[in-house]
Amino acid sequence: MSADILVVDDNCALAENLAEILEDEGHRVLVANDARGALALAGEHRFSVALLDIRMPGMDGVALGAELLARDPNTRCALMTAYTADARVAEARALGLTRVLPKPVPLTELFAWVADIEEPAK
Amino acid sequence: MASPDVLTEMLDYIGFEPYDAQLLMDIGPYVRPEFAALIDEFYVAIEQNPRAMAVFQGPDQIAHQKTTLLAWLESLFKGIYDEAYLVRRERIGRAHVRIGLDQRFMLGGMNLIRESLHEAHEAATPWEPDHKLEGHRAIDKICDVELAIMLETYREDSDDRLRKNERLATLGQLSASIGHELRNPLAVMETSLHLLRRRVTGGEKTNRHLARIGNQIALCGSIISDLMQLARDEAPQRSSTDFVELVRLAVADLVVPEPVCIELDLPEGIAPIEVDAGQLRQVVVNVVQNAVGAAVLDGPGTVWVSLKDDGARLVLVVEDDGEGIEPGTRHRLFEPLFTTRAKGIGLGLALCKSVLAAHHGEIQALDRDGGGARFEVRLPRTEPTS
């Protein structure tokens, strides 16, 4: 079974590349370049996985993750950041957003994580 | 450097008058015969304190210091306290700062000398009590002037450090933000490369170039990591690490110039250690690279790298047969932006120090038996729980 994945990054090229890579892996992926676009998509689709850049203009990835979780507690969110010592990372953990991927994104780790979500422990 | 006004101001503030200068000049001939004994006593006191002793490099330097101290005492009673006097005194003050003599030892030393001068004057000067008391006051005043000049040079040094720290803080912020900005384009390149590898079914040459791009992207990533690490941006991410293998690979990847030979002495069967492998690899690279840089300076050289496990910690020793560490630079070697080399900006050893501090370990610069430098890296096995 494939996951419905939402990728949100204000760096359009990176968002598209990640989407294409995940599509190659057989997933259905939608892309947004800011929180507003992401929330619009979340109004129309259910996502099992969301990949969110932390630093974005407007609402950041941490606030967006919290909002997505509030709307659908089954969505699994991972934050992406070029700045792993960012104070927002610690705040995100407090909000239950514990999965943080550094940039450049370690693809093997990403694939393993997504695969894990698809086949939850029995 | 302080201006002559500073000297006048100090003399005025302490209440040092031409009459005091005259008194000191008159006392001089009586106390002068006591100087040799005074100097010997002074160094006996210093030798009893290992930490004060540590800044002296052997008997030659102590002999030299004794000569300097004698000249200092002589001029103390010459009665001439002008601009040239101030300049000479400042030079002596800066020499103390340069060899890293702690301020409290300087204060203690000044106090010892003051006491001895009072004793010598009391015993040797054949004056009436009132006149003698004036002499004691003059000795106190000139010692206060000396102390003020000394403290001024220590203050100059601390101001310099403060300025440098501010510069470093700016550098740190700049590195962190440049690193951040570069990681995004790198992430795009890396993901595009990943897609290209899947789309392109090229021959051997194409694959070689794709691999090359991948390696260079990884190299850029690690350079950024170094910079951001130094900017104290990243806490260590510990994982179980085969340290022997880490050292072996780090040394193997070094570009070592022809006349330098690296001798490895790595034991087998050392249990893995919980460290940030990336950060510690950088430490090994930097320390060995530093040793290679020292060994290469005068013709063929050797660098020895050895590792020991004493149970509680790993000790990595890196030695070279280069010129060794200049006494005056030892305590500054791990300061950021401090370098004695034409190449390099002085971040390597500073990075080592900050990585080891984050791992509750330490790095020390010592002398190698038989000449050259010896660096010891100590890495505790367990992270203190406090």
Please give the Cα distance from B217 to B14 (Å, whole number): 65
**Tokens for B89?**
């005194």
Tell me how far apart the alpha carbons of residues B67 and B64 are, in angstroms, rounded to a whole number.
Answer: 5
Of B176, B184, B194, the CB nearest to A21: B194
How much is the ipTM here? 0.87
Given CB atoms, is B215 within the 8 Å cutoff of chain A? no
Task: Identify which of A21, A82, A107 has the shortest CB distance to residue B184.
Answer: A82
Q: And the tokens for B352?
A: 């080592």
* Paired tokens of B49: 């304190």
Q: Chain A partners of B183 at a C-beta cutoff of 8 Å?
A: 82-83, 103-104
From A41's Cα to the closest Cα of chain B, the distance in A is 23
B-chain residues within 8 Å CB-CB of A106? none
pLDDT at residue A1 in the model: 42
Cβ contacts (< 8 Å) between B179 and chain A: which residues?
A: 82
Nearest by CB: A21 against B183, B191, B235: B191
Q: Which residue of B has its CA nearest to A108?
A: B194
Given this model, what pLDDT does residue A88 score?
Answer: 87
**B197–A contact, CB cutoff 8 A:** no
Give the H or E element holding residue B349.
helix B348-358
Stretch among A80-89, B187-196, B255-264 having the lowest mean pLDDT: A80-89
pLDDT tens sequence across B231-270: 665 678 888 999 999 999 889 877 788 889 999 999 988 9
For residue B95, pLDDT over 60 is answered with: yes
- Percent helix, percent strand, percent coil in chain A, to nearest 5: 45, 20, 35
Q: How confident is the model at residue B358 (pLDDT cuts 50, 70, 90)?
A: confident
Using an 8 Å CB-CB cutoff, list chain B residues near A11: 184, 187-188
Omega before residue B18 within 30° of 0, cis = no
Global pTM value: 0.53
Determine the distance in angstroms separating the CA of B183 from the nearest CA of chain A, rounded to an integer: 6
Res. B331 pLDDT band, cuts 50 70 90 = confident
Would you state the pLDDT for residue B343?
64
Alpha-carbon span B286 to B279, nearest angstrom: 11
d(CA B282, CA B354): 11
Taking the Cβ of residue B192 and every Cβ of chain A, the question of whether any pair is shorter than 8 Å is answered with yes
A11 in contact with B at a CB cutoff of 8 Å?
yes
Q: How confident is the model at residue A3 (pLDDT cuts 50, 70, 90)?
A: low
Q: Minimal Cα distance from A23: which residue of B?
A: B195
Of the candidate ranges A5-9, A80-84, B86-90, the one whose mean pLDDT is the lowest: A80-84
The residue of chain B nearest to residue A86, with distances taken between CA atoms, is B233
User: Which of A13, A20, A104 is opposite residue B183, by nearest beta carbon?
Assistant: A104
Q: Do B192 and A104 touch (CB under 8 A)?
A: no
| Predicted local confidence at residue B386, as pLDDT | 42
Mean predicted lDDT score pLDDT of chain B? 86
Look at residue A6 and tell me whether its pLDDT is greater than 80: yes
Q: Is the pLDDT of residue A32 over 50?
A: yes
Say if B87 is an interface residue toward chain A (CB within 8 Å). Answer: no
Which one of B191, B198, B234 has the shortest CB-CB distance to A14? Answer: B191
Q: Which residue among B183, B191, B217 places its CB closest to the CB of A82?
A: B183
CA A96, CA A84: separation in Å to the nearest integer? 17
Residue of B nearest to A9 (CA): B184
Residues of B in contact with A107 (CB under 8 A): 191, 194
Q: For B302-325, write each residue's pLDDT tens digit.
A: 999 999 998 889 999 999 999 888
Contacts with B176 from chain A: Cβ below 8 Å:
83
B93 or B195: which carries more pLDDT confidence? Answer: B195
Closest residue, chain A, to B193 (C-alpha): A17
Taking the C-alpha atoms of residue B218 and residue B224, their distance in angstroms, rounded to an integer, is 10
Q: Does B180 touch chain A (CB under 8 A)?
A: yes
Contact criterion met (CB below 8 Å) for B72 and B42: no
